[in-house]
Structure 1
């Protein structure tokens, strides 16, 4: 018996040692871009995203990561690297306006974003304290941005970092104000609100943020009307739920909790069939006047609508997810099937998804700024899916490209450096094989990506994809993720 116990303890000690080794093992580094941040791009057709036209072939001179000259037949120093565009299509890099970064994102998410032409990212959930074992904190994201610009790592620029979400229903106004002050002191760009926040606490939070000039972003809390949230100054609303839940006949009853006992399938059907166009029209006008942005992330509602679809649940791109994320993704889909059972549930979710697309089209036509965001672990690939869904909603390819570039930069107040291929702007660019104004699917045909003038040519982009796929299968990363999740202060909330 003693021999068995010694053997068992030895095995446990060995497993603990292996686990600890995995946690402490150095993380892999993604393949870096070409080191030069100055180069000449020759014979590129520049997409003017504002005027929706593709120009004749021209040259673009980049110096120190900034576009310095544009014109045909430019001359450069003999030792300056040259990228031959051969008539391909050049436009600003894409910005994903709803993402979440984790400690292991440099191995699992950021290279995948760059490999898909995403050069800017808006992070919608920082860690709740000064550090966390799972969620990347604002200091990480600032460091990653600097390192990416300097060519020392692979990452988009982080263009806005929002706080951990304000969610607790029992949070008092004073508690929210103190927490907001802490987030502001830590250097966060925005405060994120979520579903269960009370109206009184929400009002105190938005009042404080307005005094500081700090945007409030995120969900629309259930108990707060969209009208009141826009009037309070919320800067952006996330996800396709926003208008569906506001623009139906029984919206006030839903906000009060009077419909909480209703079967989820019946509630979704009610939101679609009892659509209140007048309520939406008023909200659209209010948002247009306030300059309030909408980030619909239709790919997330597509996940609900297609939770039973084998072609969707078996998406081969899930191979780019680590085992923990892949399990969580599929578990979410299974939970959706249980919550909305049978053919009726599936039909209700598909109708709700299509309703969301129609509402996005109506909002955009009414002048509401619509931005492109994913909120999904395979966001690099799903970003192009989201652009395709926006076209399906009724936006033109030109309007979607503008939303993905110039409108995103306008939201962030960075049009002086981003959003156009223009002299003085940062050389964050994508070079496409075919004209995306003709077909939004052409955004997937990346020939090259540049970030701060540093080149990821097609072989480098392929290397990033290979790297991410390998990292998703890495036992070391799996160990780090398990440890990070188990030790995180917020694992019960995720």
Structure 2
């Protein structure tokens, strides 16, 4: 009777469980009155690529008002003083390629994979709107104090204003609908993020339509389909660039093919928002990029993240599990439990046919290194919001892969800070630690010039002169903890799986039969299972959240299983950790 009574209320749909709202953390963040002084700190000079010892920074009204050797900075009355002894400080970072209108989950690009029958695109769009501020807070928690949305619906302009009014959100710069030579299917038609134009006149008109809304730049989607010639639509690109420049606006262009990229840069494109991926850059192209002072945003991982999702070949890091929205990350693994009527392709067959990373990924890495060595202005961007490229968390992965391409730590930090500010014409206020600039700073325990991985462990974020810690920005709710451990279970990542649990966690067979006690006992039990069990996957069929208790109706499959194993898991949360788990089978 107890079992049947427990099953009766389990009627919440998986869609609701998987797409819960994740609002910003509850830690109180206040703008301090009076000056802030960070004394005796090591300053990372992003221009020289060197650390300057024993420096003091003074912040007043959100800006740096003094900066120099500690012995030369006079003490201030009524100042909040932070002792920076042994610590390092650098400018806040910029993700120069994101999209507000995309969630990062499996259902966010129906033009790429149409799963509307499983979860309608309209619901994904609504989730993004409902959870925008939570996603923005995650950026700050990752040390990203500025984001640049390189194309979305007209509502982008309203979003920019609302985001910039919030203390717990990065500063946002945006453009509106993409001036495009191609119209992808299945996207929003009421407020489209991409608008196809068929003539130079239409291109100019779309630019003019956005000018009153004060775009920070204009974006062109220069797509050439198989069988088409790039020169055919070049007049559209040229017209959009000319009209933008006439209105004092920089132009960013999506052109991933060598030919279209070269034509766009020759026509005056200021920014390439992706790497060239079909050909290694030759000297002519590199010199063109350098002479035109074109910004090069490689977005190394975005295509790879699509392929990893479509083939279920994941390489999640602890940083991904900790900082990505857990519900969007969870959707990436939904392909493993869709029934045949819902599948649009067989991910197992695709996995057998596609190696990740592939040849194009290698070309992107080669071109990034060539561009850097040629003196091209390289800027860090992720294309966050696309399937598998998560808001905030994917940025750290991008930094690591830039290291893999051969860039030095100083070059990576420069691409994430001053280069981004210069590339978008914002270096008067952002990108480096200088008197008069906005106080967007990161306080670190180690020197990032020596160890780039410290950027996954930021001590304190200073945004517009306000102090905050990552834990204040990241929400911790019972449902989030349950989802985080579920994601790590499905990825068979033992460390991330155990992180949401209390050190003294107790596991019971319902109602109160002891099974395991302590996190280390769980490690021993589950690590072996993760190693032995291929294609292990747990689907939450239904979920109920009641206060500090989460009740999941689970269906578990693995390679060779004939039927799913059904179970109910009851998670009880205490002091921000999972303290007790009860299983009913």
Give the TM-score normalised by structure 1.
0.73
Corresponding position: 1:433 with 2:460? no
- Alignment match of 2:29 (pick from 33, 38, 48): 33
- Alignment match of 1:283 (pick from 282, 285, 288): 285
Distance (whole Å) between structure 1 residues aligned to residue 477 and residue 240 of structure 2: 39
Question: 1:56-205, aligned counterparts within 5 Å?
Answer: 56-70=53-67, 71-73=69-71, 74-102=73-101, 103-127=129-153, 129=154, 131=155, 137-145=156-164, 147-148=165-166, 153-158=167-172, 160-169=173-182, 171-173=197-199, 174-196=201-223, 198-205=233-240
Distance (whole Å) between structure 2 residues aligned to residue 205 and residue 469 of structure 1: 49
Distance (whole Å) between structure 2 residues aligned to residue 172 and residue 310 of structure 1: 39
Richer in helix (by share) = 1
Deviation at residue 415 of structure 1 after TM alignment: 2.3
Deviation at residue 27 of structure 1 after TM alignment: 7.1
Richer in strand (by share) = 2
Instruction: Give yes or no for contact 1:304–1:336 (8 Å, CA) kept in 2.
Output: no
Query: Secondary structure of 1:95's match?
Result: strand
Query: Secondary structure of 2:378's match?
Result: coil
Larger Rg: 2
Question: 1:35-434, aligned counterparts within 5 Å?
Answer: 35-36=31-32, 38-70=35-67, 71-73=69-71, 74-102=73-101, 103-127=129-153, 129=154, 131=155, 137-145=156-164, 147-148=165-166, 153-158=167-172, 160-169=173-182, 171-173=197-199, 174-196=201-223, 198-220=233-255, 225-240=260-275, 242=276, 244-245=277-278, 247=279, 280-304=282-306, 306-307=308-309, 308=311, 311-312=314-315, 317-318=320-321, 320-321=324-325, 323=327, 326-327=330-331, 338=347, 341-346=350-355, 349-377=357-385, 378-434=390-446
Deviation at residue 356 of structure 1 after TM alignment: 1.2
Distance (whole Å) between structure 1 residues aligned to residue 177 and residue 334 of structure 2: 24
Q: 1:387 to 1:313 in 2, by over 3 A?
A: closer
Partner of 2:109: none
Q: 1:337 to 1:428 in 2, by over 3 A?
A: farther
Deviation at residue 80 of structure 1 after TM alignment: 1.7
Deviation at residue 326 of structure 1 after TM alignment: 4.4
Deviation at residue 91 of structure 1 after TM alignment: 0.8
Partner of 2:471: 462
Distance (whole Å) between structure 1 residues aligned to residue 26 and residue 177 of structure 2: 27
Distance (whole Å) between structure 2 residues aligned to residue 314 and residue 424 of structure 1: 37
Query: Secondary structure of 1:69's match?
Result: strand
Q: Deviations over 1:29-76 (max 9, x none)?
A: 864533216311122100111111111122211111111122314444
Instruction: Give yes or no for contact 2:36–2:60 (8 Å, CA) kept in 1.
Output: yes
Q: CA RMSD in A?
A: 3.6
Query: Secondary structure of 2:450's match?
Result: coil
Distance (whole Å) between structure 1 residues aligned to residue 332 and residue 480 of structure 2: 18
How many residues align? The count is 407
Distance (whole Å) between structure 1 residues aligned to residue 45 and residue 99 of structure 2: 30
Query: Secondary structure of 2:86's match?
Result: coil
Q: 1:453 to 1:316 in 2, by over 3 A?
A: closer
Query: Secondary structure of 1:364's match?
Result: helix
Distance (whole Å) between structure 1 residues aligned to residue 250 and residue 345 of structure 2: 32
Deviation at residue 193 of structure 1 after TM alignment: 1.6
Query: Secondary structure of 1:375's match?
Result: coil
Query: Secondary structure of 1:207's match?
Result: helix
Q: Deviations over 1:88-108 (max 9, x none)?
A: 001111111011224345433
Distance (whole Å) between structure 2 residues aligned to residue 68 and residue 139 of structure 1: 31
Deviation at residue 309 of structure 1 after TM alignment: 6.1
Partner of 1:270: none
Instruction: Give yes or no for contact 1:57–1:87 (8 Å, CA) kept in 2.
Output: no
Q: Deviations over 1:375-423 (max 9, x none)?
A: 2243322212111111111110001111111111111223222222122
Query: Secondary structure of 1:437's match?
Result: coil
Distance (whole Å) between structure 2 residues aligned to residue 221 and residue 356 of structure 1: 10
Instruction: Give yes or no for contact 1:124–1:218 (8 Å, CA) kept in 2.
Output: no
Q: 1:282 to 1:93 in 2, by over 3 A?
A: same
Q: 1:448 to 1:28 in 2, by over 3 A?
A: closer
Deviation at residue 324 of structure 1 after TM alignment: 5.6
Instruction: Give yes or no for contact 2:23–2:134 (8 Å, CA) kept in 1.
Output: no
Instruction: Give the unaligned 5+ runs of structure 2.
Output: 1-11, 102-128, 183-195, 225-232, 337-342, 484-542, 544-585
Give the TM-score normalised by structure 2.
0.62
Deviation at residue 28 of structure 1 after TM alignment: 6.8
Partner of 2:339: none
Deviation at residue 469 of structure 1 after TM alignment: 9.2
Instruction: Give yes or no for contact 1:199–1:224 (8 Å, CA) kept in 2.
Output: no
Instruction: Give yes or no for contact 1:194–1:221 (8 Å, CA) kept in 2.
Output: no
Range moving further from structure 2, 314-323 or 61-70? 314-323
Q: Deviations over 1:209-242 (max 9, x none)?
A: 23223222131176963221101111111223x2
Instruction: Give yes or no for contact 1:98–1:373 (8 Å, CA) kept in 2.
Output: yes
